[in-house]
């Protein structure tokens, strides 16, 4: 899937005019605006219904652009950029004084990433020809607290006429949001787990960073307890209890939509059943589309087979846990 040249031109024009553009990345679709334009960034918060103190990630075209936005960049951060960019890694760095506080949530740090998607990169390069410094602030292109979009159709469903242009880059390869590493302090830590694992980070850093999904203040919006949530109530149930749980629901007349990865459906079960890949990368790729689909199934409850507890599953397990907390709350 490749937008036409005219789509890119229109997207750059819209960004320069302070308007919103939805763009594909390898993780999820983003709702983008000129990160240097306060009013444009304000439109992101309005369209999403997102609280204004939540910082946004600034997407840039290449590693060279980082110095326009950040300062005192430690060597470890440069090493991570070299190893993983373009790619699903966001680095939190000390911001340059001029960077608007609307983008940083009033903090003295800024989140930066070079996305690994050809459409996002082409847009960023086009924007960089029109403007300096060129950064696109983009949170996931969903209503606040809801399931992140992994196709252009999901974005249209979430935001519809609130965004004048959606660039279609096909389904997102990774499917969950970027790994966030805070490099603004003495010892880097993972603020949000993602496709790039602590083991991979260790290969560059020389030590395994801690995962700190902070409670309390929303430094990282995904670290709020309720997030990525369907409207239908949702439960995580262990594989060993799954059939018994579903039978009990059926006897009570409840309709369940099931997302499993190891437990196969049993004959005679009226529940809607979806098998996802039993590996964490395949699971992440399919998860949000499956949740969205099951949310539309008209079920009383989405039942998800709980995930393995091994480190490889930590990022998807994090998303599912938060989705379950936020589900059914609207
Ligand atoms: O994969 C992704 O990261 C996607 C795509 C579109 O790039 N974006 C995304 O954005 O997930 P959003 O806004 O849904 O999540 C961005 C996260 C938030 O949790 C935010 O709090 C955190 O990045 N963040 C941004 N700047 C930060 C900062 N200065 N300090 C701490 N956290 C920051
Ligand atoms: Mg989000």
Atom of ligand 1 nearest to the CA of 223: 19
Mean pLDDT of all residues in 127-145: 96
Q: Evaluate the omega torsion of the peptide bond into residue 231 and state whether it is cis, within 30 degrees of 0.
A: no
Q: Residue 290 CA to chain centroid, in angstroms?
A: 15
Test site for ligand 1: of 24, 48, 55, most ligand atoms within 8 A of the Cβ = 55
- Mutational pocket test of ligand 1: of 35, 73, 180, 322, the residue with most ligand atoms within 8 Å of the beta carbon: 180
Task: Indicate where the chain has its CATH 3.90.870.10 domain(s).
Answer: 5-205
User: How confident is the model at residue 215, as a pLDDT?
Assistant: 45
Please give the distance, rounded to the nearest whole angstrom, from the Cα atom of residue 262 to the centre of ligand 1.
Answer: 32
Residue 140 near residue 30, CB atoms below 8 Å = yes
Residue 220 has pLDDT above 70, yes or no: no
Give the ligand 1 atom nearest the CA of 57. Answer: 25
List, chain by chain if needed, residues with CB within 6 Å of any ligand 1 atom. 25, 27-28, 30, 54-57, 90, 92, 104, 107, 109-111, 115, 138-140, 177-178, 180, 191, 219-222
pLDDT at position 30: 98
Q: 34-47 pLDDT, tens per residue?
A: 999 999 999 999 99
Predicted pLDDT at 327: 84
The whole-chain average pLDDT of the chain stands at 94
Give the largest CA-CA distance in the chain.
63
Q: Is the peptide bond before 86 cis (omega within 30 degrees of 0)?
A: yes
Locate the ligand 1 atom nearest the alpha carbon of residue 174 and give its number.
1
pLDDT tens digit sequence for 266-317 = 887 778 999 999 999 999 999 999 999 999 999 999 999 999 999 999 999 9
3-state secondary structure (DSSP) of residue 82: helix
- What pLDDT is attached to residue 218? 44
Q: Which ligand places an atom closest to the C-alpha of 56?
A: 1
Question: 48 alpha carbon to ligand 2 midpoint, in Å?
Answer: 10
Looking at the domain covering 5-205, what would its CATH class be? Answer: alpha beta
Q: What residues does CATH 3.40.50.11030 cover in the chain?
A: 234-326
What per-residue confidence (pLDDT) applies to 326? 82
The class of domain 234-326 in CATH terms is: alpha beta
Instruction: Check whether 225 has a pLDDT greater than 90.
Output: no
Residue 186 CA to ligand 2 center (angstroms) comes to: 27
* Percent of the chain predicted with pLDDT > 70: 95
Q: How far is the C-alpha of 274 from the C-alpha of 294, rounded, in Å?
A: 9
For strand 30-34 and strand 21-23, is the pairing parallel, antiparallel, or unpaired?
Answer: antiparallel
Q: Which two tokens stand for residue 9?
A: 């031109």
pLDDT band at 52 (very low <50, low <70, confident <90, very high): confident
CB 116 within 8 A of CB 88: yes
């Amino acid at each position: 899937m490749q937008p036409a040249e005219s789509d890119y031109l229109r997207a750059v024009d819209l960004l320069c005019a302070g308007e919103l553009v939805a763009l594909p990345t390898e993780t999820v679709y983003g709702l983008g605006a000129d990160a240097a334009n306060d009013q444009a960034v304000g439109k992101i918060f309005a369209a999403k219904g997102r609280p204004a103190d939540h910082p946004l990630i600034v997407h840039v075209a290449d590693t060279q652009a980082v110095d326009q936005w950040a300062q005192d960049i430690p060597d470890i951060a440069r090493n991570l950029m070299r190893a993983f960019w373009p790619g699903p890694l966001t680095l939190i760095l000390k911001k340059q004084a001029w960077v608007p506080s609307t983008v940083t949530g009033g903090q003295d740090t800024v989140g930066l990433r070079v996305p690994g998607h050809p459409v996002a990169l082409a847009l960023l390069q086009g924007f960089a020809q029109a403007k300096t410094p060129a950064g696109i602030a983009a949170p996931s292109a969903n209503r606040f607290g809801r399931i992140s979009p992994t196709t252009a159709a999901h974005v249209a469903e979430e935001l519809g006429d609130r965004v004048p242009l959606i660039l279609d880059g096909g389904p997102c390869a990774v499917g969950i949001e970027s790994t966030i590493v805070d490099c603004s302090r003495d010892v880097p830590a993972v603020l949000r787990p993602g496709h790039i694992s602590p083991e991979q980070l260790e290969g560059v850093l020389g030590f395994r960073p801690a995962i700190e999904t902070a409670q309390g203040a929303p430094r990282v919006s995904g670290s709020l307890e309720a997030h990525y949530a369907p409207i239908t109530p949702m439960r995580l149930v262990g594989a060993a209890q799954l059939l018994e749980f579903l039978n009990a629901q059926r006897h009570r007349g409840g309709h369940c939509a099931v997302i499993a990865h190891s437990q196969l459906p049993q004959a005679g079960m009226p529940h809607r059943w979806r098998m996802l890949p039993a590996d964490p990368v395949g699971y992440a790729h399919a998860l949000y589309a499956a949740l969205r689909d099951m949310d539309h199934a008209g079920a009383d409850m989405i039942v998800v087979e709980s995930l393995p507890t091994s480190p490889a599953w930590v990022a998807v397990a994090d998303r599912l846990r938060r989705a379950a907390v936020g589900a059914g709350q609207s």
